[in-house]
């Protein structure tokens, strides 16, 4: 793994913002997640850590008294060998996705804008192994990296007011899944029956940063069948160990 030189700055008086180079990179992602795990094991006095494409924010229980001392402590933790830390397992998740206009209101317009056939779109979107960079915008909403250049399309100028849970969208260079009914400006090209966020489960979201996602194309009838299984709590999402 590449070694970076993260920068540190106060984020208010009770948080520390740590930043990496401003690019979307799996090497940067793995460095961020490695540092996060080290902090969780070796740093004290915080109640939450959040990550994004190029940053990590530590939210502290009390006001920062000496910021320079905090940087010294964090730099020491950053330099710890990987062998000194424990890592949570990451998985590759197979997510069923139905590319049907009845479930994807922007599918036809997207095909027209990108001059693609439906079969080509499905091939381009489903053959990629996507990386989960972070969760945000909505509870459990995965920001996925790796979208084919042929599918890049800037977000809508006028967002839709009610995108349905399970909608799979494209916004700019990214693809993602709406985890709850929500307004949004991404182009909806497919839908999954999988619940990415369930407040009644622990944890509420089954994926995490560093995981991988593969979209498996399904028919509308298969979509309806899986939706019934999910309602009866009998459907198990296919997954594979990524890291051990």
| 54-66 per-position pLDDT tens digit | 999 999 999 999 9
* Rounded CA separation 65/111 (Å): 56
Q: Which of 62, 84, 106 is the C-terminal boundary of a domain?
A: 84
Is the same domain home to 161 and 232? yes
Whether a cis peptide bond, with omega within 30° of 0, leads into 203 is yes
Query: In angstroms, how far apart are the furthest CA atoms of the chain?
Result: 60
Q: For residue 200, what are its two tokens?
A: 């009644």
Q: Is 64 exposed, middle or buried, given 0-12, 13-18 or 19+ CB atoms closer than 10 A?
A: middle
26 backbone dihedrals φ, ψ, rounded to 5°: -70, -30
What is residue 87's predicted lDDT score, i.e. its pLDDT? 54
79 part of a folded domain: yes
238 part of a folded domain: yes
What is residue 82's predicted lDDT score, i.e. its pLDDT? 61
Q: Which of 84, 113, 135 is the C-terminal boundary of a domain?
A: 84
Nearest CA to 231 out of 207, 203, 198, 206 is that of 198
124 part of a folded domain: yes
Lowest mean pLDDT among 17-21, 180-184, 213-217, 239-243: 239-243
Q: Considering Cα of 194, then 200, then 203, then 209, what sign does the dihedral take?
A: positive
pLDDT at residue 90 greater than cutoff 90: no
Q: Considering Cα of 181, then 106, then 161, then 174, what sign does the dihedral take?
A: positive
Is the same domain home to 77 and 188? no
pLDDT-above-90 percentage for the chain: 70
Q: Is 2 exposed, middle or buried, given 0-12, 13-18 or 19+ CB atoms closer than 10 A?
A: exposed
Mean pLDDT (the chain, rounded): 90
Render pLDDT for 153-168 as a digit per residue (tens, 0 to 9).
999 988 898 999 999 9
Name the one residue in this structure whose structure tokens are 């079969």: 119
What is residue 218's predicted lDDT score, i.e. its pLDDT? 97
pLDDT at residue 237 greater than cutoff 90: yes
Average of pLDDT values for 12-17? 93
CB 143 within 8 A of CB 208: no
What is residue 83's predicted lDDT score, i.e. its pLDDT? 52
Is the same domain home to 129 and 236? yes
Lowest mean pLDDT among 37-41, 140-144, 198-202: 198-202
Number of independent structural domains in the chain: 2
* Rounded CA separation 153/74 (Å): 39
pLDDT at residue 85 greater than cutoff 60: no
> Coil, helix or strand for 114?
helix
pLDDT at residue 186 greater than cutoff 50: yes
E strand or H helix at 56: strand 55-60
pLDDT at residue 69 greater than cutoff 50: yes
pLDDT at residue 244 greater than cutoff 60: no
* Rounded CA separation 107/109 (Å): 6
97 part of a folded domain: yes
CATH of residue 35: 3.30.1360.40
Q: For residue 75, what are its two tokens?
A: 């730099």
Question: Residue 84 — pLDDT band, cuts 50, 70, 90?
Answer: very low
Average of pLDDT values for 169-197? 94
Is the same domain home to 113 and 234? yes
What is residue 72's predicted lDDT score, i.e. its pLDDT? 93
- Helix, strand, coil percentages in the chain from 3-state DSSP, rounded to 5: 25, 30, 45
Is the same domain home to 80 and 99? no
Q: Considering Cα of 137, then 67, then 8, then 243, what sign does the dihedral take?
A: negative
pLDDT at residue 88 greater than cutoff 70: no
What is residue 187's predicted lDDT score, i.e. its pLDDT? 97
188 part of a folded domain: yes
Average of pLDDT values for 40-56? 90
Per the structure, the complete domain to which residue 157 belongs is given by: 90-243
Average of pLDDT values for 54-81? 92
């Amino acid at each position: 793994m590449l070694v970076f030189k993260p920068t540190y700055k106060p984020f208010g008086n009770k948080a520390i913002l740590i930043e990496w180079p401003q690019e979307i990179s799996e090497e940067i992602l793995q460095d961020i997640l490695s540092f996060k795990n080290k902090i969780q094991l070796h740093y004290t006095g915080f109640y939450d850590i959040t990550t994004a494409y190029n940053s990590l924010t530590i939210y502290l229980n009390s006001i920062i008294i000496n910021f320079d001392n905090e940087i010294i402590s964090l730099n020491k933790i950053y330099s710890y060998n990987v062998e000194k830390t424990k890592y949570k397992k990451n998985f590759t998740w197979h997510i069923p996705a139905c590319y049907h206009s009845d479930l994807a209101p922007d599918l036809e317009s997207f095909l027209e804008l990108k001059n693609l056939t439906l079969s080509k779109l499905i091939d381009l979107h489903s053959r990629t192994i996507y990386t989960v960079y972070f969760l945000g915008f909505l509870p459990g909403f995965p920001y996925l990296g790796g979208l084919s250049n042929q599918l890049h399309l800037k977000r809508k100028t006028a967002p839709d007011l009610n995108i349905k849970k399970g909608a799979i969208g494209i916004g700019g260079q990214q693809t993602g899944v709406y985890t709850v009914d929500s307004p949004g400006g991404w182009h909806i090209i497919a839908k999954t029956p999988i619940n990415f966020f369930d407040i009644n489960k622990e944890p509420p979201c089954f994926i995490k940063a560093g995981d991988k996602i593969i979209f498996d194309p399904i028919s509308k009838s298969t979509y309806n069948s899986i939706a019934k299984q999910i309602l009866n709590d009998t459907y198990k999402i296919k997954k594979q160990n990524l890291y051990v």
